[in-house]
């Protein structure tokens, strides 16, 4: 029925239909215009990439300004942006200050595997056990997160002044088992600390304590690198206050957790606040120290375990400290994840050899060692740089004299500190290309272009062997280890040595292979080594 009850003609109906269609077309056109407008508006708003670009530009500008004014550049982000499991595969992806990123990019092409995985975890303030091969960049793996957290205030420290008179309030502490290593870590810490305006200092024994005190008071550090003995001295004298220390790193953690340093460690940890971050780093992680370590770490999910397996593949497991192989002792975490973490830890800690270091063995009785070493040194190519390890201070001194014609220097624990330092400096400067040393030089020292390591005397245990030969073949370089095997004393080491060499694809001489089933001692027993004193030395 039509309007006013009037019947519509055919023409009227057609006109109405046309009008309707025209209206619909008009509405559709309007909708399309609105949609286009919305899209245009979206396009105008900055995308994520645009924002990042803008932020990067701003950061670069700030850095330039800071440089111009001679000031340290400030970090621009407080929290890591990476997915903790994927890690930071480029320096650009890290939240580090532009000045730090620049310094990294100008020296290296990308983060090493341990840096990729340790940085995100450490930056969040979590406790961490990080085990990765010798020469894999662990120093910056712990130093940069510490410095970043201090410079951005993410560590929550720095608010309280010292609680004990003139005591120096330290915000982060790195401990090292040896003086030379402490000094080396500090040099790296100072280099990056300067870029961020974080003052640093180092204290170690063998140097006048008065001078170190004066230096600490004159320029109180936020980051302190220390050897255990001197640190405890300064704590006893109430010169250092750790009440506001938010982070502690044990570099060469298994060595520091060894019984020898227990009293100093106990004292240090009792001076630290409960609310702190604890980071343990090493290339070896024997089961014997794991229980001790768990005393100092957060339980359950609070601690991240990072074991980098062969070929640099990362194994990252979250779990209780029990999961790291502590054995027994409750611990949080669901049974499943703890078991998985334990299995991963066991698998990752199996003895495996560093393919960057070739391993050769020389059959040599005590009477033959000097002649064989001489012969071998004469055959080395021009420019070789060599460390010879011996087990006693006297032997080290004698060897340095006997082989003086090759240009020797010597390091051991009985030497005056200044003599130790000048010996190391001569070796580093290549003025003395042959350094003879006890195990005081076995761990952590990063000396460029060391081509050969000799074990004139067999290392005392699996870990020591791993760390000694790790002085060469660092940061992607190749190296050679030559180990003298004395049939009178070293049979017990044979099974472990054979296993390490085979895993690295190294040929094992028949005379050594014969002793594959020799009875091993606790420190060199392979089965035990796998289960109890695993050393880790991963593929290049
Ligand atoms: N991202 C990187 N790329 C290449 N080289 C790096 C990188 N980061 C650090 N390095 C260099 O690698 C070398 C070894 O580093 P570092 O001494 O930290 O090793 P490490 O893992 O602590 O070894 P060790 O177990 O013997 O103590 C150093 O010369 C360091 O400058
Ligand atoms: Mg190191």
User: Residue 139 Cα, ligand 2 centroid: separation in angstroms?
Assistant: 5
For ligand 1, atom 7, which residue shows the shortest CA distance?
A: 137
pLDDT tens, N- to C-terminus, the chain (540 residues): 334 334 455 555 554 554 555 455 445 444 444 433 333 222 222 333 344 444 444 445 544 444 443 333 333 334 445 555 679 999 999 999 999 999 999 999 999 999 999 999 999 999 999 999 899 999 999 999 999 999 999 988 776 665 556 589 999 999 999 999 999 999 999 999 999 999 999 999 999 999 999 999 999 999 999 999 999 999 999 999 999 999 999 999 999 998 889 999 999 999 999 999 999 999 988 888 888 999 999 988 889 999 885 433 344 444 333 222 222 222 222 233 444 444 444 444 444 446 688 999 999 999 999 999 999 999 999 999 999 999 999 999 999 999 999 999 999 999 999 999 999 999 999 999 999 999 999 999 999 899 999 999 999 988 899 899 999 999 888 999 999 999 999 999 999 999 888 887 889 999 999 999 888 777 886 654 444 334 433 332
Q: Nearest CA to 251 among 222, 225, 223?
A: 225
Closest listed ligand to the CA of 354: 1
Ligand 1 centroid to Cα of residue 68, in Å, is: 31
Q: Residues 471, 501: contact at Cβ < 8 Å?
A: no
If we measure between CA atoms, which residue out of 480, 461, 477, 460 comes closest to residue 469? 480
Name the residue with the closest Cα to ligand 1, atom 10: 137
Closest atom of ligand 1 relative to the 110 alpha carbon: 1
The CATH architecture one would assign to domain 98-349 is 3-Layer(aba) Sandwich (3.40)
Tokens encoding 361? 């063995």
Which ligand 1 atom minimizes the distance to the CA of 448?
A: 29
Tokens of 55: 């932020």
For ligand 1, atom 3: residue with the closest CA? 108
| Nearest protein Cα to ligand 1, atom 27 | 444
**Ligand 1: which atom is nearest the Cα of residue 446?**
17
Which atom, in ligand 1's list, is nearest to the CA of 252?
Answer: 27
265 CA to middle of ligand 2, Å? 19
CA of 114 to the centre of ligand 1 (A): 10
Q: Which of 212, 209, 297, 284 is nearest to 247 (CA)?
A: 297
String of DSSP letters for 341-381: HHHHHHHHTS----TTEEEEEEE--HHHHHHHHHHHHHTSP
Q: Could you tell me which CATH number the domain at 357-537 has?
A: 3.40.50.300
- Total-model pTM: 0.79
Residue 528, phi then psi, degrees to nearest 5: -70, -35
Nearest CA to ligand 1 atom 4: 108
Count of other CB atoms within 10 angstroms of residue 23: 10
Residue 71: count other Cβ atoms within 10 Å of its Cβ. Answer: 10
CA atoms within 13 A on the CB side of 212: 21
Nearest CA to 357 out of 513, 510, 504 is that of 504
Residues contacting residue 171 through CB under 8 Å, at least 6 positions apart:
150, 155, 157, 158, 222, 223, 244, 245, 246, 247
Question: Any idea which ligand is nearest the CA of 472?
Answer: 1
Longest dimension (CA), the chain: 131
- Residue 450: nearest ligand to its CA? 1
Residue closest via CA to ligand 1's atom 6 equals 137
Cα–Cα distance measured from residue 516 to residue 497, given in angstroms and rounded to the nearest whole number: 9
Ligand 2 mean position, distance from CA 138 (Å): 5
Q: Using a 6 Å CB cutoff, which residues line ligand 1?
A: 108, 111-112, 115, 134-140, 283, 444, 446, 470, 474-475
CA of 480 to the centre of ligand 2 (A): 19
Cα–Cα distance list, 414 to 350, 392, 453, 454, 486 (Å): 35, 10, 22, 21, 26
HSE on the CB side for 288, CA within 13 Å? Answer: 19
């Amino acid at each position: 029925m039509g309007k006013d009850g009037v019947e519509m003609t055919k023409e009227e109906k057609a006109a109405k239909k046309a009008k309707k269609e025209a209206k619909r077309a008009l509405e559709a056109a309007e909708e399309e215009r609105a949609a286009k407008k919305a899209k245009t508006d979206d396009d105008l708003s900055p995308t994520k990439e645009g924002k990042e670009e803008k932020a990067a530009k701003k950061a670069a500008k700030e850095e330039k300004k800071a440089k111009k004014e001679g000031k340290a550049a400030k970090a621009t982000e407080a929290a890591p942006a990476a997915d903790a499991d994927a890690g930071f595969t480029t320096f650009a992806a890290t939240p580090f200050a532009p000045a730090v990123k620049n310094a990294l990019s100008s020296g290296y092409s990308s983060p090493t595997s341990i840096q990729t995985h340790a940085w995100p975890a450490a930056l969040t303030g979590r406790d961490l056990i990080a085990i990765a091969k010798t020469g894999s960049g662990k120093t910056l793996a712990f130093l940069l997160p510490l410095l970043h957290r201090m410079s951005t205030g993410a560590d929550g420290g720095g608010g309280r002044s010292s609680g004990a008179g003139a005591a120096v309030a330290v915000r982060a502490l790195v401990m090292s088992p040896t003086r030379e290593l402490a000094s080396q870590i500090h040099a790296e810490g100072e280099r990056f600390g300067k870029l961020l305006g974080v003052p640093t200092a180092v204290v170690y024994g063998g140097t006048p304590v008065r001078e170190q005190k004066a230096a600490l008071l004159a320029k109180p550090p936020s980051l302190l690198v220390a050897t255990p003995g001197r640190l405890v001295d300064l704590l006893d004298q109430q010169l250092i206050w750790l009440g506001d220390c938010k982070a502690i790193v044990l570099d060469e953690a298994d060595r520091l957790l060894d019984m020898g340093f227990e009293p100093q460690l106990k004292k240090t940890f009792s001076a630290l606040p409960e609310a702190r971050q604890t980071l343990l780093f090493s290339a070896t992680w024997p089961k014997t120290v794991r229980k001790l370590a768990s005393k100092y770490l957060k339980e359950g999910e609070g601690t991240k375990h990072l074991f980098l397996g062969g070929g640099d593949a990362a194994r990252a497991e979250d779990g209780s400290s029990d999961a790291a192989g502590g054995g027994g002792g409750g611990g949080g975490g669901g049974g499943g994840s703890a078991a998985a973490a334990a299995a991963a830890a066991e698998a990752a800690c199996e003895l495996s050899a560093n393919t960057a270091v070739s391993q050769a063995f020389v059959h040599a009785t005590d009477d033959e060692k000097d002649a064989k070493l001489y012969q071998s040194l004469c055959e080395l190519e021009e420019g070789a740089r060599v460390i010879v390890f011996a087990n006693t201070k006297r032997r080290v001194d004698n060897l340095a004299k006997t082989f003086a014609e090759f240009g020797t220097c010597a390091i051991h624990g009985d030497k005056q500190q200044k003599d130790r330092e000048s010996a190391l400096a001569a070796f580093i400067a290549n003025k003395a290309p042959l350094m003879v040393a006890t195990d005081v030089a076995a761990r952590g020292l990063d000396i460029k272009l060391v081509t050969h390591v000799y074990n004139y005397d067999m290392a005392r245990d699996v870990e020591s062997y791993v760390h000694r030969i790790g002085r060469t073949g660092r940061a992607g370089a190749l190296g050679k280890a030559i180990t003298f095997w004395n049939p009178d004393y070293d049979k017990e080491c044979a099974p472990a040595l054979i296993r390490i060499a085979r895993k690295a694809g190294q040929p094992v001489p028949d005379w050594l292979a014969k002793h594959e089933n020799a009875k091993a001692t606790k420190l060199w027993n392979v089965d035990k080594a796998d289960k109890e004193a695993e050393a880790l030395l991963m593929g290049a």
